[in-house]
C-alpha cells in the first residue's frame, strides 16, 4: 500500500508539472519529484536498519555454540542436488501423511558431526497451514512466511531446492531458472505468540535477490488472495470431495422435499376483515387472510406468482384480498 501510494504521488507530480507548470503560480509546486524520492529512500534505510536489528537480536538469542568435532562445509551434494549457503530447501516429513507438502527451511549452515553425520541448520519457512491464523485470513498463491525458529535436521531429509522472494520482486519480475511450482513469495514474518504475523518493511536478504536472474514484467501482476485452506492441521480434507458432494446433494434434496410445502417461520394468526360485512355479491374483503394451503398473506405484501408464459415468476404487490361466497380466495 505504501509503495502504491508513493507511485501514485509521483504520477500526480509528473502530471501536475506537465499540465500546470508555467500556467499557475502556487505553493504546491514547492514539492518536486526528487523530494518524494529522497523521503522514501530515507524511510527505506530506516526500515532496513530496523530489520537488520531484528535479525541481529534473533541470531544472538538463538545462537548455539559449535560443538567439538563439527566441521563446517560451504556446500553439500545429496541425490545429485547441490545445496549451498544460503539456500531454500524442501525437508521431507517425518509423519505418515504423504499427501501433505514437504516442509521448507532456509539453509544457513551445513556441517559434519564428529560421528560423520551430515547435518543442515537453518530457519523454518512456514506454509499457511503451518501457522496459527484466523480462518478468514487470505493468502497469496504460494505464499510462505519466514520465521525466527531455528532447527537442525539430518541432510538425508533434504528433498529438493526451492526459492523464496519478496512479493514485490515476484510481482514485478519473472525469476529465471526457477520452476513456478518451486517459487514462493513472502510478505510477512511469522513470529508465533504474541505477535503472530508482522509485515516485512524491508526484505532482509537483498544481496541474495540481486544475484537472481530477473526479467522485468511488461505489466506488474496483481496479487490474488484466497481464503485459508485450514481444513485440519495438515491441510487435508477429512473426506474425499466426491463423498462430500454426494452427501451434501442427498441431504439438500431431502431438505428441499421436507420444506417444499411447509410454512417457514409462521405462527397461527387470526384473519383480519377489512369490512364488517360482505358486499352485495357476497365477497368478504380482508386485511389479512389465511389460504387453504395454510399460508398467511397481508395487504401490502410482495409475493411471487407463477406465470406459465415466462421462465421466472412474476413479483406482485397485494393491494386487495377477498374471499368469494364459494370460499374461493382471490387477491
The string of pLDDT tens digits covering residues 306-320 is: 887 877 888 888 888
Q: Say if CB 106 and CB 88 are below 8 A apart.
A: yes
Three-state DSSP class for residue 191: coil
Q: Confidence class of residue 1 from pLDDT cuts 50, 70 and 90?
A: low
The whole-chain average pLDDT of the chain stands at 79
pLDDT digit string (tens) for 17-66?
887 776 667 776 777 778 888 888 788 777 767 766 666 666 555 555 67
CATH superfamily membership of 65-227: Bromo adjacent homology (BAH) domain (2.30.30.490)
Domain boundaries, the chain: 2-22+29-61, 65-227, 272-330
Helix axes 2-20, 33-62, angle to 10 degrees: 170
pLDDT for the residue 249: 46
Residues 48-57: contacts with CB under 8 Å, at least 24 apart: 48/201, 48/202, 48/206, 50/201, 50/202, 51/200, 51/201, 51/202, 51/204, 52/204, 55/204
pLDDT digit string (tens) for 201-260?
888 888 888 889 999 999 888 888 888 765 444 444 444 444 444 444 444 555 555 545
Q: Confidence class of residue 276 from pLDDT cuts 50, 70 and 90?
A: low
pTM of the model: 0.57
Res. 91: pLDDT tops 70: yes
Of residues 191 and 246, more confidently modeled: 191
Average pLDDT of 96-115? Answer: 87
Average pLDDT of 276-283? Answer: 73
CA–CA distance, 322 with 331 (Å, rounded to integer): 6
Average pLDDT of 98-112? Answer: 89
Amino acid at each position: 500500500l505504501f509503495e502504491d501510494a508513493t507511485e501514485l504521488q509521483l504520477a500526480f507530480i509528473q502530471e501536475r508539472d506537465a499540465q500546470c507548470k508555467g500556467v499557475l503560480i502556487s505553493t504546491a509546486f514547492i514539492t518536486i519529484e526528487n523530494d518524494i524520492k529522497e523521503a522514501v529512500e530515507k524511510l527505506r534505510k530506516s526500515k532496513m536498519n530496523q530489520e537488520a536489528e531484528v535479525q541481529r537480536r534473533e541470531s544472538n538469542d538463538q545462537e548455539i555454540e559449535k560443538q567439538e568435532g563439527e566441521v563446517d562445509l560451504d556446500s553439500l551434494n545429496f541425490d545429485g542436488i547441490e545445496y549451498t549457503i544460503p539456500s531454500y530447501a524442501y525437508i521431507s516429513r517425518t509423519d505418515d501423511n504423504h499427501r501433505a507438502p514437504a516442509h521448507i527451511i532456509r539453509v544457513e549452515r551445513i556441517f559434519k558431526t564428529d560421528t560423520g553425520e551430515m547435518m543442515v541448520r537453518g530457519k523454518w519457512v512456514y506454509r499457511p497451514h503451518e501457522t496459527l491464523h484466523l480462518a478468514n485470513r487470505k493468502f497469496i498463491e504460494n505464499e510462505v512466511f519466514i520465521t525466527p525458529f531455528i532447527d537442525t535436521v539430518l541432510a538425508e531429509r533434504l528433498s529438493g531446492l526451492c526459492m523464496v522472494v519478496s512479493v514485490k520482486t515476484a510481482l514485478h519480475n519473472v525469476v529465471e531458472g526457477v520452476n513456478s511450482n518451486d517459487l514462493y513469495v513472502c510478505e510477512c514474518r511469522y513470529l508465533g505468540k504474541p505477535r503472530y504475523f508482522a509485515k516485512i518493511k524491508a526484505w532482509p536478504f537483498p544481496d541474495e535477490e540481486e544475484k537472481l536472474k530477473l526479467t522485468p514484467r511488461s505489466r506488474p501482476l496483481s496479487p490474488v488472495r484466497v481464503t485459508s485452506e485450514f481444513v485440519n492441521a495438515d491441510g487435508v480434507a477429512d473426506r474425499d470431495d466426491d463423498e462430500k458432494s454426494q452427501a451434501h446433494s442427498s441431504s439438500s434434496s431431502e431438505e428441499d422435499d421436507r420444506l417444499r410445502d411447509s410454512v417457514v417461520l409462521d405462527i397461527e394468526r387470526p384473519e383480519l376483515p377489512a369490512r364488517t360485512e360482505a358486499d352485495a355479491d357476497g365477497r368478504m374483503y380482508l386485511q389479512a387472510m389465511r389460504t387453504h394451503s395454510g399460508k398467511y398473506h397481508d395487504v401490502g405484501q410482495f409475493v411471487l406468482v407463477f406465470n406459465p408464459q415466462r421462465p421466472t415468476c412474476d413479483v406482485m404487490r397485494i393491494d386487495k384480498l377477498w374471499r368469494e361466497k364459494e370460499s374461493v380466495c382471490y387477491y
